[in-house]
């Protein structure tokens, strides 16, 4: 794959450029998603289905802290893309230095708070009954590696803003492969159980951090910062904060969603119902990897060309990204509609020594997951409009519409739906909330995106 420099973001044909950006992003997200998927399969088969539920309880807390790094990364990377497009390299350097300082300050503080309140946080996120003990073991170990994950996620968005998608892809692949290898060693060979699963993931975070550090110290990066760039600059921090808050708010709402879902489903069906959601959650991360890849590839293209005042290229990138994302989303939709039972069975152990309780849990999961999966992914073919539309406003630095559109699906529609529908429809109401929220948020985003194109890009 040909090397891309930041200048080429404003010169290459949009279709060709989007493929160059989106394919590495998709591969990276695929490998990360496969990591989560296979990790869950290993945990389910080698430890048990309750262990999958325990990890699902921990994810919102650790992901929220890691998302602080992603928020700082995406907020700053929007500035970097537009600064490079406008030829302002010094602002790009200063922004990157501020991103590093801010990520360290914020994530270390959050980890300290997360460890202090561990016994209150785990039950609040659904870690009750037999889920609590394995969840606490996993959570405590994972949290030590989260600052490194945050730095990786921040650095990855900056690598992409430079127009280096292959390096960003590698940064996503390395920790995933490392995690899976360590899963085998720590869980299967050493029989460390939940501790092994947690240490395997933490080692993956460290490997990612060292690779990202190598990239920025090598000749491959255009952003060569010095000590002066690490000093916090208020105008840059405000811009990073306003744009990064979009990503942070999305992850905060996602964490709230996990909290509500785990508790609602636990009340409806106990640990087994939480295990069903754990599988659905893994598929939400894994199955949509090509759509997220197109979105990630679209961000630096839109940001760079908007900064360079090449509005026709920006408009073309929007339509091309939606077209590509909708195509792959439809293919994903077909697979999930046809093979839900087969997918669910991958996560469940068939060891002969299973206890009666574990057998009952597995049977429950196999019975309830297929319908849940079909309902959750029912509106998948149209979600490209919502994802690309919200990403566009973030890419060009319009924080308020980006925030509102990002929160539309989960904050404005999904959370109210899951608080209302289960009271009338039980379990089915929970799963229906997903596709209804997708449809409503897509309609809203499509309206505002088309209005923006007509008034600002024509």
Residue spans of the domains in the chain: they are 12-232, 238-457
Contact 183, 196 (CB under 8 A): yes
The CA distance from 293 to 296, in Å, is: 5
Angle between helices 427-456 and 356-376 (to 10 degrees): 30
Query: What pLDDT does residue 438 have?
Result: 93
Query: What pLDDT does residue 33 have?
Result: 65
Query: What pLDDT does residue 323 have?
Result: 92
Query: What pLDDT does residue 4 have?
Result: 46
Name the token pair of 329: 């989303």
Maximum C-alpha span of the chain: 66
pLDDT < 70 stretches in the chain: 1-7, 32-38, 49, 62-63, 66, 349-354
Query: What pLDDT does residue 250 have?
Result: 75
Query: What pLDDT does residue 3 have?
Result: 45
Burial of 120 (0-12, 13-18, 19+ CB in 10 A): exposed
Q: Give me Rg for the CA atoms of the chain.
A: 21
Contact 236, 79 (CB under 8 A): yes
């Amino acid at each position: 794959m040909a090397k891309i420099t930041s200048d080429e973001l404003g010169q290459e044909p949009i279709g060709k450029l989007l493929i160059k950006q989106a394919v590495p992003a998709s591969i990276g997200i695929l490998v990360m998603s496969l990591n989560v998927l296979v990790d869950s399969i290993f945990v389910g088969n080698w430890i048990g289905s309750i262990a999958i539920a325990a990890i699902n309880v921990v994810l919102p807390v650790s992901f929220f802290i890691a998302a602080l790094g992603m928020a700082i990364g995406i907020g700053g990377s929007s500035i970097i893309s537009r600064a490079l497009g406008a030829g302002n390299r010094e602002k790009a350097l200063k922004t990157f230095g501020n991103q590093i300082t801010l990520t360290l300050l914020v994530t270390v503080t959050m980890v300290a708070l997360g460890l202090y309140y561990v016994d209150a946080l785990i039950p609040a996120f659904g870690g009750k009954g037999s889920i609590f003990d394995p969840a606490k073991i996993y959570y405590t170990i994972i949290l030590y590696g989260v600052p490194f994950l945050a730095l990786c996620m921040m650095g990855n968005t900056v690598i992409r803003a430079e127009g280096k998608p292959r390096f960003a892809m590698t940064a996503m692949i390395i920790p995933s492969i490392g995690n899976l290898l360590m899963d085998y060693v720590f869980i299967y060979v050493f029989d460390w159980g939940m501790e092994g699963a947690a240490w395997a993931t933490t080692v993956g975070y460290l490997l990612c951090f060292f690779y990202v550090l190598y990239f920025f110290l090598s000749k491959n990066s255009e952003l060569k910062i010095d000590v002066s760039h690490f000093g916090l600059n208020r105008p840059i921090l405000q811009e990073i904060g306003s744009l990064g808050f979009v990503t942070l708010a999305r992850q905060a709402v996602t964490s709230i969603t996990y909290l509500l879902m785990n508790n609602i489903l636990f009340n409806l069906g106990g640990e087994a119902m939480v295990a069903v959601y754990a599988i659905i959650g893994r598929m939400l991360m894994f199955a949509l990897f090509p759509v997220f890849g197109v979105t990630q590839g679209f961000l630096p293209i839109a940001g760079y060309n908007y900064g360079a005042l090449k509005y026709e290229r920006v408009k073309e990138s929007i339509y091309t990204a939606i077209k590509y994302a909708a195509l792959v989303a439809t293919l994903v939709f077909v697979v999930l509609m046809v093979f839900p039972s087969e997918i669910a069975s991958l996560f469940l152990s068939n060891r002969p020594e299973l206890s009666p309780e574990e057998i009952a849990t597995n049977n429950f999961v196999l019975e309830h997951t297929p319908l849940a999966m079909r309902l959750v992914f029912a509106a998948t073919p149209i979600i490209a409009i919502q994802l690309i539309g919200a990403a566009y406003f973030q890419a060009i630095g319009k924080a308020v519409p980006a925030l509102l559109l990002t929160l539309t699906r989960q904050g404005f529609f999904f959370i109210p739906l899951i608080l209302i529908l289960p009271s009338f429809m039980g379990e089915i109401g929970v799963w229906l909330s997903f596709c209804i929220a997708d449809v409503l948020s897509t309609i809203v985003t499509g309206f505002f995106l088309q209005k923006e194109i007509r008034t600002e890009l024509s």
